[in-house]
Amino acid sequence: MPDAPTDHPAVPTAKIGILVANLGTPDNYDYWSMRRYLNEFLSDRRVIDYSPWLWQPILQLVVLTKRPFSSGANYKSIWNEEKGESPLMTITKEQVTAIRAQMHAQYGDRVMVDFCMRYGNPSTPSKVKAMVAAGCEKILFFPLYPQYAGATTATANDQFFRALAEEKWQPAVRTVPPYFEHPAYIEALAQSVERAYAAAEEPPEVLVASYHGVPKRYLMEGDPYHCQCQKTSRLLRERLGWSEDKLVTTFQSRFGPEEWLKPYTVEEVARLAEAGVKRLAVIAPAFSADCIETLEEINEEIHEAFEEAGGEHFTYIPCLNSDDAHVKALCAVIDDNLGGWVA
């Protein structure tokens, strides 16, 4: 190119980036790491939509003086000490390694697979920047939430779009829609239930599908999360060939004074135990990876609530994590959304 300036920057070979996004997790469980993480998370107006004039004083002066201690202790009880990170981080890395292997086997070096977090590290802007620098002229952004919620999918996408606004050469982009009814995701859930039931001495009488909750007001204002959770449960139950009384849908992790989606998991498991259910299983279909909400809240707090109310056998069915069937499902969702970008 005779007219090109002699100091023309190198232009890398064009690639397609697949950027998987999860929620994020604290860097450590000490007070300041917890406070930093919770501050970023709970200041997000997609998560808590009160006016900052009202909410920020409560958050800074009340919530963030207490919760980093209690949540920090919970994180300590599940921490991956060997790797120095939370389970969510370890599992996300395993998932991305498996997805990358499958994508490279299918498409070779034309695709680049990485992950980012909405809160904390690795940040979404840092990963978008790295993909653009590596030559990604197209990016498929994949929030790892099967069911859409403003508090999860939308805020992950918002952060992605804010990061794109910083780029001189902005790639063409797509965001992956929720996959709450994708047959491969339902199949992976069903196989995990069948595995757990086959391993139990006696099969559980009832399966509770416990989803992370959101304030009920979000549903009334148009968020489809509730309906997508109900549909996942129904499709799972139909795939298992069960009657309606064998699978109950509940919502967990209530935060603050407002009413959240009901029934609350902790109350429902106690009610089931009081009604005579002795053997119960719990699955958490909204979480693509085990985390504080499943390992601590379900498998410790909710487990205890069931036993205190007279239940005898509690089976926690782990999240799909890096199960082969899950990786296959996530790759199928990616493939569905790459249409026209790769041959």
Return binding residues for Fe(2+).
212, 293
C-alpha dist (Å) from residue 226 to 75, 152, 257: 27, 13, 19
Under the binding rule (CB under 5 A), the answer on residue 62 touching Fe ion is no
Q: Which amino acid is at 37?
A: Y
How many whole angstroms separate alpha carbon 52 and alpha carbon 50?
6
Question: What SS3 state is found at 315?
Answer: strand
Query: 321: Cβ–Cβ under 8 A, 6 or more apart, which residues?
Result: 91, 94, 95, 288, 289, 290
Residue 86 near residue 99 (C-beta atoms within 8 A): no
How many whole angstroms separate alpha carbon 138 and alpha carbon 168?
14
255 binding partner (options ligand L6N33NVT, Fe ion, none; Cβ < 5 to 8 Å by kind): ligand L6N33NVT
The smaller minimum CB distance to ligand L6N33NVT, of residues 37 and 107, is found at 37
Which window, 159-167, 243-251, 286-294, 315-323, contacts ligand L6N33NVT (CB under 6 A)? 286-294
**Window 40-79: residues binding ligand L6N33NVT (CB under 6 A):** 42, 47-48, 67, 71
28 binding partner (options ligand L6N33NVT, Fe ion, none; Cβ < 5 to 8 Å by kind): none
287 binding partner (options Fe ion, ligand L6N33NVT, none; Cβ < 5 to 8 Å by kind): ligand L6N33NVT
Structure token digits, residue 88: 């969510």
How many whole angstroms separate alpha carbon 14 and alpha carbon 178?
28
Query: 51: Cβ–Cβ under 8 A, 6 or more apart, which residues?
Result: none
Question: Quick one: 103 exposed, middle or buried, by C-beta within 10 A (0-12, 13-18, 19+)?
Answer: buried
The smaller minimum CB distance to ligand L6N33NVT, of residues 112 and 295, is found at 295
Under the binding rule (CB under 6 A), the answer on residue 88 touching ligand L6N33NVT is yes
Residue 211 near residue 252 (C-beta atoms within 8 A): yes
The smaller minimum CB distance to ligand L6N33NVT, of residues 91 and 331, is found at 91
292 binding partner (options Fe ion, ligand L6N33NVT, none; Cβ < 5 to 8 Å by kind): ligand L6N33NVT
How many whole angstroms separate alpha carbon 158 and alpha carbon 207?
35
How many whole angstroms separate alpha carbon 292 and alpha carbon 296?
5
Interface mask toward ligand L6N33NVT for 175-214; x: CB under 6 A: -------------------------------------x-x
227 binding partner (options Fe ion, ligand L6N33NVT, none; Cβ < 5 to 8 Å by kind): Fe ion
Under the binding rule (CB under 6 A), the answer on residue 115 touching ligand L6N33NVT is no
When binding is defined by CB under 5 A, the residue of 14, 227, 274, 312 that contacts Fe ion is: 227
**How many C-beta atoms surround the C-beta of residue 312 within 10 A?**
11
Residues at the interface with Fe ion (CB under 5 A): 226-227
Residues at the interface with ligand L6N33NVT (CB under 6 A): 23, 25, 42, 47-48, 67, 71, 86, 88, 145, 149, 151-152, 212, 214, 225, 253, 255, 286-287, 291-293
